[in-house]
Amino acid sequence: MPWPTLVVGALICSGAALAPDLDHQAATISRAFGPLSRLACKLIDVLAHATYKATRKPGDSRRSGGHRTLTHTWLWAVLLGVGFSALAVYGGRWAVLLILFVHMVLAVEGLFWRQARTSSDVLVWLLAATSAWLLADALDDPGNGKAWLFTEPGQHYMWIGLPIVLGALVHCVGDALTVSGCPILWPIPIGRRRWYPLGPPKFMRFRAGSWVEIKILTPVFFVVGGASAVGALGLFT
């Protein structure tokens, strides 16, 4: 994998991993783009709640909002990935820049949330815009990543949907590990429920921000991520 693909893919993935919470007013992503994302958040919440009501089976409980429903499913992840791939393939350079910018803002908010919370939004947007511009240039050079995986003519940047699908799924798996679970499989019914909150057995679940997450999972993910990056770049082959 060329290095720009790796860097852009990792950043897009970490940004996309925040996106499912666009159904929640208080989530980072809902305030990341000012009034625009607040409006998107309201629309998504209405859409998600309507979808929940329209497709629930007798075993699914009644609920008052759309949080952790539609945007927390495999189908949403796949549709989002396909949509962004199509946008990148047909939309040209400005579409790629837009996709990079949006996910870069989210990645910065997600990875540096402590710093991002105290600095101004404009600063985060500037940082995201400049890095999106530089990375798009790096990707665009021949052999540097735009033709990764999908190599036929007319398929440049088609891979961009893959880290988006992966990020959304990782978010769902992460939510599934918490106390309330996550309806990843929708619309596939399980028993009397179509929104079955998938998750491991109760004793394996933990709260967000608990010591298991900070002291064990985070270091493990750093090591696994670093080793995967080294492997993807082919440094030791």
Report the nearest approach of Zn ion to the CB of residue 61 (Å).
Answer: 18
Helix 121-140, helix 74-111: angle, nearest 10: 110
The least distance separating Zn ion from the CB of residue 133, rounded to whole angstroms, comes to: 30
Nearest residue to 13 (alpha-carbon basis) of 139, 170, 172: 170
Nearer to Zn ion, 9 or 20 (CB): 20
Q: Which is nearer to Zn ion, 21 or 60 (CB)?
A: 21
User: Which of residues 25 and 144 has its CB atom nearest to Zn ion in the complex?
Assistant: 25
Which ranges constitute the DSSP H helices of the chain?
3-16, 28-32, 34-55, 74-111, 113-118, 121-140, 161-176, 211, 218-233
The DSSP call for residue 188 is S
| Cβ neighbours of residue 75 closer than 8 Å, sequence gap 6 or more | 186, 187
CB of residue 41 vs Zn ion: minimum separation in angstroms?
13
- Decide whether 20 or 199 has the Cβ nearer to Zn ion: 20
- Residues composing the chain: 237
Amino acid type, 234:
G
The least CB distance from residue 172 to Zn ion, in Å, is 7
Q: Which letter does DSSP use for residue 72 in this model?
A: G
Question: Which whole-number Å values give the CA distances from 6 to 12, 56, 153, 205, in the listed order?
Answer: 10, 40, 21, 31
- Our CB check for Zn ion shows the closer of 30 and 85 to be 30
Shortest reach from residue 63's CB to Zn ion, in Å: 15
Give me the residues that bind Zn ion (CB under 5 A), please. 20-21, 175
